[in-house]
Structure 1
Amino acid sequence: MVDAGDAVRWLQLAAPRGGPDDLPLLVNRAAPAVDATEIVIYLADYQQASLVPLLDAGLDREALPIETTLAGRAFTGLDVQRAADSPDRIWVPLLVGCERMGVLEIVSSAAGDPAMNEAAWELATCVAQLVVNRRPYGDVVERLRRRLPMQVAAEIVWGLLPPLTFATDDMLLTTILEPCYDVGGDIFDYALNGDVLSVGLFDTCGHGIKASTLASLVVSAYRNARRCGLDLVDTATSIDRWVRSEHPHMFATALLVELERSTGRLRVINAGHPGALLLRDGKAIRELPGPTALPLGLGHLATHRPEVYEEELHPGDRILAYTDGITDARGVDGERFGLTRLVDFVNRALNDQLATPETMRRLVRAVVAYQSGQLDDDATALLLEWRPPHAPLSHLRDRTTTGL
């Protein structure tokens, strides 16, 4: 019977003594403990288009496209995958919580053993955690995930972002942004404190370094206000003052959200941002009212303080927020991607039972393809789903029984 316990314990003891470059060798040394001859780590690139191998000197692998391979199917479907013509090889997703990092390839004569699935999940969970824990101590993971040179503006933004996906038993939040290597003006942040999930989505004016510098200030001011315990109105006011003080000729649109997980009560300030959409039962019910405040940095022109809009969510409701780079993307005929196309795409994907992170990955790929691979503006989308404990997230499975 295959058991990953010894391999996991050995890796947890050995990995902290090395850098991220050492992980491929360490993982392969653990292979015999799960009756494997080879174990290879593949990480998703920034665009989530390819799975790129993190190799030691003794192995040879090529990057694999996510769209057309079994490895990609494991990544997108969050399932263990086997090939009929290669029964000794399995692919298992690398997950940290619900954040998809890549896949683990395991080559083993015991791949067909039913016990291998559980062992593979256990090992993959350990490896994913080790990648996250060791990543800050070197650049190998960052270099590997970059298929193109990253501009300094994008370096600033990506260095400030939280994980793209976060979930608890009663909510899931997932985001996506493009262009990965030249993004500058879009940024987001979130935090869960007790019963309240706080989310901020921002779109700064301008492009390049100026936009990313403002984005850095905006998200830092947002975090500072939140950590000081300010309410939504005072948070918006604080960010507005910082923008006006440090960048008097610039501004940022924003969507500031608070969700009470126990009740489903949603509070929103829309500071000159495109309106978020309420999705229910596979349909767009309505656009949330807005703007309820001027863009951040222009608050001194307002005649009243920012207003908070409240909504009582139903179990299973989703909030879809986005920046104008999504809807304003233009095809070869000059037609905008538009709100109707955005809602239709998301609803069809969710109705097809795609996991929410996969829905967002496909959305941004569709927007990029619509604009022939070259976006004129940053494009960011965010999807927040609320389900109380008695109505668990349908696409999140109990890790103790199914591997996630």
Structure 2
Amino acid sequence: MIQARIPLRDPDQPQAPARCAAAVPVLIITVVAVLDRLTPVGMSWLPLLAVGPALAAATCRPCGVLRIGFIAVAVGAVLGVLGGAPVHEQAIVLSALAAVTLASCLASLLRQRRERVLAAVRSVAEAAQNALLRPVPARVGQFQVAVRYSAAAAEARVGGDLYALVPTPYGIRLIVGDVRGKGLPAVSTAALVLGVFREAAYDEPDLLDVVGRIERSLSRNLAADDFVTAVVAGYPRSGRMELVNCGHAPPLLVSPSGVIPVEPTRPAPPLGLASLGGETPTLQVVPFADGDQLLLYTDGVIEARDQDREYFPLMERVPRHICDEPSRTLAALHDELLAHVGGRLHDDAALLLLRKPVSSGVPAAAEVRMS
């Protein structure tokens, strides 16, 4: 699957930036020693040697902090003797350095433990993401597929946007949606929607019945003010793409005639709000020939703002990057999106691109099955 992931880091494995940062305490001790030798008698810089082990606690293991502390104490003792400081003053300075070193060792040990807990939590988040947003192969049946997903809470790597693509007896079916809200409640709702969709997509011959089952499940489980916007799509037969849009941003159909937003013929409310009345979802059929592509996305993409509060112009950017490789197209779009917002998204964002190759040469029986 084409999806950016953050590799987990072993907190006990030193990294290059950490090794560079570990040299800073030694540099500080060196600078303090030089200052102490260059300043007149009577002015002592030795207490500043404690900065070395204190700073080492943020980047080094306890044994590394001890080494930095030993260097600080040794330098302090030598400078004290060379400067002719009274014995009791030297004893106070060296005792302070030793105490700071021990306290820094304890801080380093506690930091390591917290990093291990964080690594464990991140591994759980990784497992949750794989269970919730299952990896999508680069090719499913006749189609090339690419996915890009970025959670606003980058540390968690899961959010309220959802997507799924499943081969079924009724053709390829997929969903892209956006849960109202953020955090764990949004993740729980996304899991509910995806679970119902994956089951209904196999069972229901009609795409509207798939949407109906999701609606009934949400009406039983969501609060009154919660909802999910979504586009459910299916490819039941050659040259025909079916779409059901429930309050979601319109997909973009990419064909030789250009990039066209597929606006719903009759707008329907988001999933979970059917009890409030309004239009019911309708099935929309659009031509989908060889070489055509369908881009589905969430609000986090088109509502991303730059420093001038301008929205990300997805319609303008797609023609610049569209190509025969969906993964390359989405990688370029995702890079432009991050550049537009200055490197950090403030809302979950998902992109799913489906392409029908000009000549796939893959029989229907060879479709990839995903559990």
Range class of TM-score, shorter chain: 0.5 to 0.7
Q: How big is the shift at 1:242? A: 1.3
Letter in 2 for 1:173: V
- Contact 1:157–1:215 under 8 Å retained in 2: no
**Cα deviation digits, residues 352-376 of structure 1 (max 9, x gap):** x6x2112212322321222112211
Q: How big is the shift at 1:377? A: 0.7
**Cα deviation digits, residues 9-36 of structure 1 (max 9, x gap):** xxxxxxxxxxxxxxxxxxxxxxxxxxxx
The CA distance in 2 between the partners of 1:208 and 1:153, in whole Å, is 12
What are the within-5 Å matches in structure 2 for residues 99-118 of structure 1?
none
The change in CA–CA distance for 1:49 and 1:214 in structure 2 (over 3 A counts) is: closer
Q: 1:196 aligns with which of 168, 171, 175?
A: 171
The CA distance in 2 between the partners of 1:47 and 1:157, in whole Å, is 12
The CA distance in 1 between the partners of 2:126 and 2:181, in whole Å, is 14
The CA distance in 1 between the partners of 2:254 and 2:320, in whole Å, is 12
Partner residue in 2 for 1:243:
218
**Cα deviation digits, residues 286-314 of structure 1 (max 9, x gap):** 43425642111001123553210011212
The answer for unaligned runs of 5 or more in structure 1 is: 1-43, 64-145, 394-404
The CA distance in 1 between the partners of 2:228 and 2:201, in whole Å, is 18
Is residue 252 from structure 1 mapped to residue 209 from structure 2 by the alignment?
A: no
Is residue 284 from structure 1 mapped to residue 259 from structure 2 by the alignment?
A: yes
Q: TM-score, normalised by structure 2?
A: 0.60
The change in CA–CA distance for 1:346 and 1:151 in structure 2 (over 3 A counts) is: farther
Q: How big is the shift at 1:193? A: 2.1
SS in 1 for 2:218: helix
Partner residue in 1 for 2:84:
none
The CA distance in 2 between the partners of 1:230 and 1:153, in whole Å, is 34
The CA distance in 2 between the partners of 1:151 and 1:300, in whole Å, is 39
Partner residue in 2 for 1:370:
340
SS in 1 for 2:147: strand
Q: How many residues align?
A: 257
What are the within-5 Å matches in structure 2 for residues 229-378 of structure 1?
229-249=204-224, 250-260=226-236, 262-281=237-256, 283-289=258-264, 292-303=267-278, 305-337=280-312, 341-351=313-323, 355-378=325-348
The change in CA–CA distance for 1:188 and 1:293 in structure 2 (over 3 A counts) is: same
The change in CA–CA distance for 1:219 and 1:252 in structure 2 (over 3 A counts) is: same
The CA distance in 1 between the partners of 2:316 and 2:345, in whole Å, is 21
- Contact 2:230–2:245 under 8 Å retained in 1: yes
Partner residue in 2 for 1:47:
4
- Contact 1:153–1:212 under 8 Å retained in 2: no
RMSD: 3.6
The CA distance in 1 between the partners of 2:168 and 2:291, in whole Å, is 21
Instruction: Identify which of structures 1 and 2 has the higher relative contact order when contacts are C-alpha pairs closer than 8 Å and 6+ apart.
Output: 2
Letter in 1 for 2:232: L
Partner residue in 2 for 1:12:
none
The answer for unaligned runs of 5 or more in structure 2 is: 18-117, 363-371
SS in 2 for 1:316: coil
Q: How big is the shift at 1:183? A: 3.4
The CA distance in 2 between the partners of 1:320 and 1:232, in whole Å, is 19
Is residue 223 from structure 1 mapped to residue 186 from structure 2 by the alignment?
A: no
The CA distance in 1 between the partners of 2:306 and 2:120, in whole Å, is 24
Aligned-residue sequence identity (percent) comes to: 27
- Contact 1:237–1:299 under 8 Å retained in 2: no
The change in CA–CA distance for 1:156 and 1:49 in structure 2 (over 3 A counts) is: closer
Which deviates more, 148-157 or 249-258? Answer: 148-157
The CA distance in 1 between the partners of 2:330 and 2:257, in whole Å, is 15
The CA distance in 1 between the partners of 2:164 and 2:288, in whole Å, is 21
The change in CA–CA distance for 1:241 and 1:332 in structure 2 (over 3 A counts) is: same
- Contact 2:2–2:138 under 8 Å retained in 1: no
Letter in 2 for 1:345: R
Which deviates more, 152-161 or 199-208? Answer: 152-161
Q: How big is the shift at 1:349? A: 1.9
- Contact 1:153–1:209 under 8 Å retained in 2: no
What are the within-5 Å matches in structure 2 for residues 27-66 of structure 1?
47=4
The CA distance in 2 between the partners of 1:322 and 1:46, in whole Å, is 14
The change in CA–CA distance for 1:308 and 1:169 in structure 2 (over 3 A counts) is: closer
Partner residue in 1 for 2:147:
175
Q: How big is the shift at 1:45? A: 11
- Contact 2:2–2:327 under 8 Å retained in 1: no
What are the within-5 Å matches in structure 2 for residues 204-215 of structure 1?
204-215=179-190
The change in CA–CA distance for 1:290 and 1:330 in structure 2 (over 3 A counts) is: farther
Between Structure 1 and Structure 2, whose CA radius of gyration is higher?
A: 2
- Contact 1:275–1:290 under 8 Å retained in 2: no
The CA distance in 2 between the partners of 1:347 and 1:380, in whole Å, is 19
- Contact 2:180–2:227 under 8 Å retained in 1: yes
The change in CA–CA distance for 1:158 and 1:331 in structure 2 (over 3 A counts) is: farther
Partner residue in 2 for 1:382:
352
The CA distance in 1 between the partners of 2:244 and 2:318, in whole Å, is 23
